[in-house]
Amino acid sequence: MKFSHYSIVQVNGLFRSNRGRNMILVNNRILLRNINPNTYKKIVALESIEQRLAKIVPSKRGVATLYVERDGNNNYVHSKYDPLREIPSIYNGIKDLSNYEHILFIGTGLGYHIVDVLEKYPHIKISIYEMDLEILETFLATQDLSKFKQERFKEIFTIPTDIQDMEKFFDRYTRKSIDVILPFTNTFYKEEINDFSEKVVTNLKKKKDSLGTNAAFQQRWIINSIINAPKVMTTPNILLSENNADFAGKPVILVSAGPSLSFDLEVIRRIKEEGRAYVFAVGSAVNALITANIMPDAFFTYDPTEANQIVAKAIKDNKFNIPIVFGSSVGFETLHNYPGKMVHFITSQDTLAEHLLKPPSEIVVSDSPSVAVMTLQILFKLKMQPIILAGQNLGYLNDTFYAEEIKYVNMENKISERQIKDAIKVKDVYGNEMLTNESYLSMKETLEIFIRKNPHIPVINTTKKGAYIEGTNFEELESVLETKLKNQNVVQQLFGKLESEYSMEATKENYKILEDSFDVMWENLQRVLEKIEVIQNTHKLGMYKNIQKQLVDFDLEFRQVKYTLFYDTIIIPIVRVQHEQFVKRSIEVQATSSLQKKTELFIEIFGSFVKTILAAVVYVQPAFQELKKSEIFNEKDNG
């Protein structure tokens, strides 16, 4: 490792050139002010404090190190001897940082490890969580961050409530991101780290990409993406610019399945018959409309589960010509024998489509707690307005969940005593208290996030007795019809005009690249299995003399597996929960000094995860075989 770029923090240089340090701090403050004004203000306020507990001193090697006075003791943040040499130990168990797009550094110290990443991995973006303001200021006065692009710094905060955009942060935090915790911080701020972890868990519980949801859906997302791929490739994407221009500025009713929908069906019927606005049904709301003999302009769906096909059953049984706008990772059974026009959007869970079709990031729809939130994102992207919410109760009404017109076999539409006991009180559109649950509350908060991001598009909530949604104006649908939807026949039959715009030639080429990547991954995986067998035999014999070399050999082979496109695009999404646990636990192997214990942990952690990879390969093979047989990839020679 080369350390030449650390010369700026040689101790003698620091004390000889306070002006230099001050200029670094000034530059970094400008950066900080742009990233997080709250943290910036705290750093500025620190100037008034004369007595400091964080102090820079020379290490044995001469490079600056840092200690903090606590309870009369000098607690070193870095090594007393050589802070630079300890950098690799901070990343123990995280061998392939290049696989990540974002790192949350918990604890900065003097930032040697942070600069190391910024210089070695120019694609990685970072966030910083430093609980000690003095340490953070010392870091900002030491490392010149202005030499790196500002866009690489996503968050710098001392308490989680100071995060500027919580939704963006957690979205980034849960996708190709990893935590790097400074040992000092882990020792002295364990409680704060645990509190932060709890906040993360709480946030994830409110979103569909929580660990529980991942565990339930991770395999379905990818299988659906593979099986749905031919339909995605050959149907229009509603968000491609070639398809969506005619939607802009048009009024639309986003019809959800809440119990208040029953109050407004007759008004919706009139709006539909007179063409006053588009009527888009989300999820089960389509069946409430069908029961009322109202055919919506489109049916939006994205639920990845097998049970989602029940929602489309009435449409299929009666061969209703209702266009379906489906998320690319929707339950594949939903699309089978669908009688109407098919239009799609690509979801953030569909890593296969991301590789095959290379969609622009702005047309990928973020996974969300409900189909209503997904659809709202699409309406914003289409620039439709006003957006009118109907049946969006986000809570209970008269002890029910859904509109009374929705009836499925074995569906319970009455809340239980336990649900009443666990209910949360929120304000409704009239300012009264109503009952809801965590799931609905998550949907409500996510709706509000997207509404805040699009203040230029009016959103009207017409849901009688529904939860108040921040950023919307409540107005009963009867009034909206008379005041906002005066013009008749504004709706055109736009879905029939949409066409697929994907290049089949480019798609096939991308598929071939993925196939080749699988072959490389599989070949390397066989060698990984051989290395594991050698290590297992070493453990059986109890002869650990060569175990370190064997572990290094394994790591070299395993790295070749992890570097493949197939692993990143297909395998990781299928085993994302197991992968997260694997990454967290893999550090235990490096941290253990006993060779026997190290070997046992390796077999437990690495051996188990490799088995998980093998199981994932077996799981997806049949779906890929069917995809290969499809007309897209199996065109017959007409000659």
CA angle 211, 391, 334 (to 5 degrees): 55
What's the pLDDT score for residue 202? 58
CA of 426: how far to CAs of 47, 257, 435, 475, 476, in Å?
43, 19, 6, 19, 20
The Cα 586–Cα 574 span in angstroms is 19
Q: Tell me the helices (H) and strands (E) count for the chain, helix number first.
A: 27, 18
Q: What is the edge-to-edge ordering of all strands in the sheet holding 153-157?
A: 153-157, 125-129, 102-106, 177-181
Task: Kindly tell me the burial class for residue 101, based on how many C-beta atoms sit within 10 Å of its own C-beta (0-12, 13-18, 19 or more).
Answer: middle
Sequential DSSP letters for 448-510: HHHHHH-TTS-EEE--TTPBP-TT-EE--HHHHHHHT--SS------GGG------HHHHHHH
Beta bridge partners of 342: 324
Characterize 157-176 residue by residue with b for buried, 16 or more Cβ atoms within 10 angstroms of its Cβ, and e for exposed.
bbebebbeebbebbbbbbee
Nearest of 120, 31, 112, 33 to residue 79 by alpha carbon: 112
Nearest of 122, 71, 116, 63 to residue 90 by alpha carbon: 116
Sequential DSSP letters for 232-276: HHHS-BTTSHHHHGGGTT--EEEE--SGGGGGGHHHHHHHHHHTS
Contact between 251 and 277 (Cβ < 8 Å): yes
Nearest of 510, 547, 513 to residue 531 by alpha carbon: 547
The Cα 272–Cα 289 span in angstroms is 11
Quick one: angle between helices 504-541 and 595-602, nearest 10?
140
Contact between 97 and 121 (Cβ < 8 Å): yes
What's the pLDDT score for residue 537? 92
Mean pLDDT split into 10-residue runs, the chain, 639 residues: 36 44 85 92 85 86 89 88 89 78 92 93 92 93 91 91 80 76 89 78 51 60 92 93 79 95 96 95 95 95 91 95 95 94 93 93 90 96 96 92 80 81 91 92 92 94 96 96 89 80 91 94 94 92 90 94 95 88 84 88 92 91 88 58
What's the pLDDT score for residue 93? 66
For residue 397 the two structure tokens come to: 């009404």
CA angle 581, 587, 592 (to 5 degrees): 130
The Cα 509–Cα 513 span in angstroms is 6
For residue 435 the two structure tokens come to: 């009952």
The Cα 126–Cα 401 span in angstroms is 42
Nearest of 8, 189, 266 to residue 112 by alpha carbon: 8
- CA quadruple 70, 73, 74, 80: dihedral sign: negative
The Cα 179–Cα 106 span in angstroms is 7
Sequential DSSP letters for 582-628: HHHHHHHHHH---HHHHHHHHIIIIIHHHHHHHHHHHHHHHHHHHHH
Beta carbons within 10 angstroms of residue 280's beta carbon: 23
Beta bridge partners of 54: 68
Phi and psi torsions of 472, nearest 5°:
-105, 160
pTM for this entry: 0.67
